[in-house]
Amino acid sequence: MTATNPVPAAWIESIGGFRLPPRAQRRRQSLMDRNNGGWLPPSDEEEWAVLAALSGEIPLRHAEALNIPAKRTA
């Protein structure tokens, strides 16, 4: 049997609204466009990798939150 810790529904719902900040989204898009165009400088490769990884993690955290049993609070 697996133990679960119920969490408030509002906490789970707040995760659904999590996004990268607008500035980070714009930077990620700029780096992605340059990377796709084949002219991303080596100095930007690490930043691109970090932002791409963060962007990939967000949907996973949304999915995990949907699988956490919520404790309904009034």
For the chain, 74 residues long, the average pLDDT of each consecutive 10-residue run is 64 78 94 91 92 88 73 51
Give the DSSP H/E element, type plus range, for residue 7. Answer: strand 7-8
Residues 6+ apart with CB under 8 A from 11: 70
pLDDT at 74: 46
| C-alpha to C-alpha distance for 32 and 51, rounded to whole angstroms | 10
- Sorted by where each begins, the domain ranges of the chain are 21-69
Each residue of 40-59: pLDDT tens digit? Answer: 999 999 999 999 999 888 88
Angle formed at CA 68 by CA 6 and CA 19, multiple of 5 degrees: 120
